Amino acid sequence: MGYFLGSASAEGTAFLLALLLMLVAAKLMAELFERLRQPAVAGEILAGVIIGPSVLGLVAPSEVTNDLAELGVIFLLFTVGLETKPAAIFRVGRSAAVVAVLGVVTPFVGGWLLMRAWGATGVEAMFVGTAMVATSVGITARVLSGMGLLDAPTARIILGAAVIDDILGLLVLAVVSSAAAGTVNYAEIGTTAALAIGFTVFVALVGARVVTRAAPRITTLRIGHPLFVFGLLLCLGLAVAASYIGVAAIIGAFLAGMALAEGAEGDHTMHKQTNGVTEFLVPFFLVNIGMQLKLDVFRDPSVIVLSVLVTLVAVVAKLLGCGAGAWNLGARRAAQVGMGMVPRGEVGIVVAQIGLSLAVINAELYGVVLFMAVATTLIAPPFLKLLYATETAAIAEVAPADAGGIVVTDDLSQIG
């Protein structure tokens, strides 16, 4: 009589089964990729492609998988923020700004030129260009933390540039969206820009100080695990605030993590608890990206050609644009920064969805942009692993002697 209970709990069981399938697929592919010396991240995204609607059709993206995926990337950036001292980002601020600006202009122009040459309308070309501006810093952060390299100088530049990139991308999207709708309200866009920049700078500057002062009081609360609970509330609170202001929720979560990086430094239990939540939720983020892929528009060979071209331009434009911005660090580090900014992931997917909902791109162009977003996210991790091989080898030499002192880093290094 499972079916009597079934009437009320079938929905709950289907939900649990979907989570189980996503987690099993993600971890099987992660293990396979690790054994092939490829990044687990790429394996988990590919797991989503395989179990998703375009191949096996075992699980489809739904409101719940999207929500868990969003929580996953929010906690991922929160965890990365916890490992990042604000000062370390401010120190590379100028380089990060140059990388971000060039990393916005080059892909936008590249995408626009390609689409115009392909015969697309001006609005279509602008929208594809905008989707190519996006950066999914979560993917790169996960790869770098997996190699224990979150405190490499280029990792700081990538994180800083991703924050600035998000604000710039927001403004480009605003201008392009309103241009597509007919009128550009510069006053409103200026206000949003000021709000977004103000919020980010304010939290980055003041957050750590406020948290450091509040921490001793928080630990005297009667509730269990007060610092962990405070971290959760700060993470969700700044994610919501960022989201209402127009910045990505993950930027708020990253800033929350940074604010706690100093105040909660010594609390290993809190770090491990946060790590548990992140480790549980991130696979849903990665698998959900893979599940978004729609292969049914690729029956038309010209769509395949365009997808490959858009993806190529998307990779080369970020590599050249961001690489040029970091050229003073030498060719290898410039390539690290450039490749680190390549994944478009969920941000590119969101831009594509906005284009579709505004009816400025059709289903085929939507499929092309989705392909670009997923493909860039799959391509970058293996190259990142290669480009950072020297740094990884250096860490492997140091680690055994210094194992006692790097508990937290060691813990995070296993995230990937």
Is the separation of the CB atoms in 155 and 142 below 8 Å?
Answer: no
Those residues whose C-beta lies under 8 Å from the C-beta of residue 23, and which sit 6 or more positions away, are 283, 284
Burial of 27 (0-12, 13-18, 19+ CB in 10 A): middle
Judged by CB under 8 A, the chain residues 327 through 346 that form the site for a copy of itself are none
Rounded distance between C-alpha atoms, residue 252 and residue 242, angstroms: 5
Judged by CB under 8 A, the chain residues 274 through 303 that form the site for a copy of itself are 274-277, 279-280
Q: Residue 293: enclosing H or E segment and its boundaries?
A: none
Nearer to a copy of itself, 174 or 315 (CB): 174
Shortest distance (Å) from residue 273 CB to a copy of itself: 3
Rounded distance between C-alpha atoms, residue 262 and residue 206, angstroms: 12
Judged by CB under 8 A, the chain residues 174 through 213 that form the site for a copy of itself are 174, 177-178, 185, 188-189, 192
Shortest distance (Å) from residue 174 CB to a copy of itself: 4
Q: Report if residue 23 touches a copy of itself, rule: CB under 8 A.
A: yes
Shortest distance (Å) from residue 93 CB to a copy of itself: 25
Judged by CB under 8 A, the chain residues 26 through 85 that form the site for a copy of itself are 27, 30-31, 34-35, 40, 63-64, 66-67, 70-71, 74
Rounded distance between C-alpha atoms, residue 145 and residue 148, angstroms: 5
Nearer to a copy of itself, 112 or 199 (CB): 199
Shortest distance (Å) from residue 28 CB to a copy of itself: 9
Helix axes 153-181, 331-340, angle to 10 degrees: 50
**Tokens 């409103």, residue?**
188
Q: Report if residue 357 touches a copy of itself, rule: CB under 8 A.
A: yes
Judged by CB under 8 A, the chain residues 119 through 178 that form the site for a copy of itself are 146, 170, 173-174, 177-178
Tokens, residue 24: 């099993």
Those residues whose C-beta lies under 8 Å from the C-beta of residue 337, and which sit 6 or more positions away, are 99, 154, 157, 158, 161, 322, 323, 325, 326, 329
Nearer to a copy of itself, 19 or 373 (CB): 19
- Beta strands (DSSP E) in 83-241 are none
Shortest distance (Å) from residue 171 CB to a copy of itself: 8
Q: What are phi and psi of 9, to 5 degrees?
A: -115, 0
Shortest distance (Å) from residue 366 CB to a copy of itself: 12
Nearer to a copy of itself, 90 or 280 (CB): 280
Q: Residue 5 in 3-state DSSP?
A: helix
Shortest distance (Å) from residue 56 CB to a copy of itself: 18
Q: Report if residue 396 touches a copy of itself, rule: CB under 8 A.
A: no
Shortest distance (Å) from residue 303 CB to a copy of itself: 23
Per-residue mark of binding to a copy of itself, 225-264 (x: CB under 8 A): x--xx--xx--xx-xx--xxxx--x---------------
Those residues whose C-beta lies under 8 Å from the C-beta of residue 398, and which sit 6 or more positions away, are none
Measured between its terminal Cα atoms, the distance across the chain in Å is 43
Q: Report if residue 220 touches a copy of itself, rule: CB under 8 A.
A: no
